[in-house]
C-alpha cells in the first residue's frame, strides 16, 4: 500500500466489503450504493464517479497481477475482476471448440429443460437499459426467464418479435406477465406505458406488465440520490401531475443490486406452480445424466481412436 493515499485505501477497502456482500455490480450501481449507504464520505457527483472508476480499476489490476504472479499474499487493495460487470462492453464471439469432445462437454453443460412449457404462466423481464443485466443474470438464469432490453423506447423489431411470441402463447391460453425495470423519470414512466401498448397491438393479446423498479417510494426507503426533472423534457408536465411539482427522479441503476434481484426472484416465484416446477426439475436431472453418460461414452471412444 506504499504510495497510495489514505482516501484511496479507505475507498477500496469499503468497495471490497460491499462487493463481498453483494456482487456482481456495475460501476454505476456501486457508485449509488456507496452514496446511499452514507457510511463513508462520498458525494453523488461526476468527480466521485470518475474517482471510483480509477480506484476500482487499480484494485482489479492489482488482483489480476497477483493471480498472474502465481501466489504469495493477496494484495490488500485487490478486487477480483469478476465482482464487477459491464454489459455495455461485452464482446461478441463465435463459438469454437478444440475438438468434438470439447463440443460434447459444452452440450452436456448447456442442456436445460424448458420448464415453462408446463406452467400456467409465461414471464419475461424487460429493462429500459442494459446496464443492470449483469447484476440480475443470476436470478433470470435460475428461473430460465427471457430478458429483453428496450434501449429507451424500444423498436419496431422488438415489439413485433415479442408480439408474435405472445400471440402464440395467448392461443395456448398462457397467462403472460412482463416484469418491467426502468428509471423513475418522465421518460421512464412513458416508456413503460408505450411498450405495453405497442406489444399488445402487435400481438393482439392482453398481458400484465408490472413495474418492479423504480418506484417513487424507493427514493426515501433506500436513500437514493434524487435528481431534478429536466426542464427540456417534453414529458415533464405529465410526470409532475402524477408525482408532484417538485417530484425527484432517479435512475434504475441507483436501486441496490441485491434488492433488484430479490424483487425479480420474488415476483417470478409468486407466479410459478412449484409442484409442477419441481417435477420438471427432476425430469431434467434424469435427462442431464443421460446426456452426460452419452458424452462420456463418446469421449472414451474418441480417446481410444486417437490412441490407435
Angle, in degrees to the nearest 10, between helices 46-69 and 27-37: 120
Instruction: Report pLDDT for 91.
Output: 60
Instruction: Report pLDDT for 4.
Output: 61
Domain ranges of the chain: 6-84, 97-115+273-308, 120-272
Edge-to-edge strands, sheet with 175-181 = 146-149, 121-127, 175-181, 208-213
120-272 is classed CATH 3.40.1360.10: yes
Residues 6+ apart with CB under 8 A from 294: 104
Segment 91-102 shows an average pLDDT of 70
Tally the residues of the chain.
308
Name, of 79-88, 219-228, 230-239, 287-296, the range with top average pLDDT: 219-228
> In degrees, to the nearest 5, what angle opens at C-alpha 211 toward C-alphas 209 and 215?
160
> Residue 308 — very low, low, confident or very high, per pLDDT cuts 50/70/90?
low
Segment 203-212 shows an average pLDDT of 94
Which of 2-11, 47-56, 196-205 shows the lowest mean pLDDT across its residues? 2-11
Instruction: Report pLDDT for 307.
Output: 60
> Residue 10 — very low, low, confident or very high, per pLDDT cuts 50/70/90?
confident
Instruction: Report pLDDT for 227.
Output: 86
> pLDDT tens across 247-304, in order?
899 999 999 999 999 999 999 999 999 999 999 989 888 887 887 788 778 777 777 7
Segment 186-197 shows an average pLDDT of 90
Q: Label residue 213 exposed, middle or buried (CB < 10 Å: 0-12, 13-18, 19+).
A: buried
Q: Look at residues 209, 143, 161 and name the one whose alpha carbon lies nearest to residue 182.
A: 209
C-alpha–C-alpha distance, residues 134 and 30, integer Å: 13
Instruction: Report pLDDT for 76.
Output: 73
Instruction: Report pLDDT for 252.
Output: 94
Check pLDDT > 90 for residue 113: no
Instruction: Report pLDDT for 213.
Output: 92
> pLDDT tens across 24-44, in order?
898 899 999 999 998 998 999
Check pLDDT > 50 for residue 5: yes
Segment 110-131 shows an average pLDDT of 89
Average pLDDT, the chain: 86
Check pLDDT > 90 for residue 214: yes
Instruction: Report pLDDT for 1.
Output: 44
Which has the higher per-residue pLDDT, 70 or 249?
249
Amino acid at each position: 500500500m506504499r504510495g497510495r493515499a489514505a482516501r484511496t485505501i479507505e475507498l477500496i477497502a469499503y468497495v471490497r466489503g460491499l462487493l463481498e456482500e453483494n456482487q456482481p455490480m456495475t460501476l454505476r450501481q456501486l457508485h449509488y450504493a456507496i452514496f446511499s449507504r452514507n457510511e463513508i464520505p462520498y458525494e453523488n457527483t461526476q468527480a466521485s464517479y470518475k474517482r471510483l472508476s480509477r480506484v476500482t480499476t487499480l484494485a482489479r489490476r492489482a488482483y489480476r497481477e497477483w493471480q498472474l504472479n502465481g501466489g504469495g499474499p493477496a494484495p490488500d487493495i485487490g478486487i477480483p475482476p469478476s465482482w464487477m460487470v459491464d454489459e455495455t462492453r461485452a464482446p461478441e464471439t463465435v463459438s469454437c471448440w478444440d475438438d468434438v469432445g470439447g463440443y460434447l462437454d459444452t452440450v452436456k453443460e448447456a442442456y436445460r429443460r424448458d420448464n415453462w412449457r408446463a406452467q400456467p404462466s409465461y414471464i419475461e423481464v424487460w429493462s429500459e437499459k442494459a446496464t443492470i443485466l449483469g447484476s440480475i443474470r443470476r436470478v433470470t438464469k435460475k428461473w430460465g426467464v427471457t430478458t429483453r432490453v428496450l434501449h429507451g423506447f424500444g423498436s419496431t423489431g422488438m415489439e413485433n418479435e415479442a408480439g408474435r411470441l405472445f400471440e402464440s402463447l395467448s392461443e395456448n391460453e398462457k397467462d403472460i406477465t412482463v416484469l418491467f425495470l426502468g428509471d423513475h423519470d418522465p421518460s421512464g414512466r412513458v416508456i413503460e406505458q408505450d411498450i405495453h401498448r405497442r406489444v399488445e397491438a402487435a400481438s393482439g393479446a392482453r398481458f400484465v406488465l408490472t413495474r418492479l423498479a423504480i418506484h417513487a417510494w424507493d427514493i426515501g426507503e433506500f436513500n437514493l440520490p434524487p435528481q431534478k426533472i429536466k426542464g427540456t423534457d417534453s414529458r415533464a408536465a405529465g410526470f409532475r401531475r402524477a408525482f408532484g411539482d417538485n417530484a425527484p427522479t432517479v435512475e434504475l441503476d441507483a436501486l441496490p443490486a441485491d434488492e433488484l434481484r430479490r424483487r425479480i426472484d420474488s415476483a417470478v416465484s409468486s407466479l410459478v406452480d412449484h409442484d409442477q416446477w419441481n417435477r420438471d426439475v427432476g425430469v431434467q436431472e434424469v435427462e442431464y445424466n443421460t446426456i452426460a453418460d452419452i458424452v462420456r461414452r463418446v469421449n472414451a471412444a474418441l480417446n481410444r481412436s486417437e490412441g490407435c
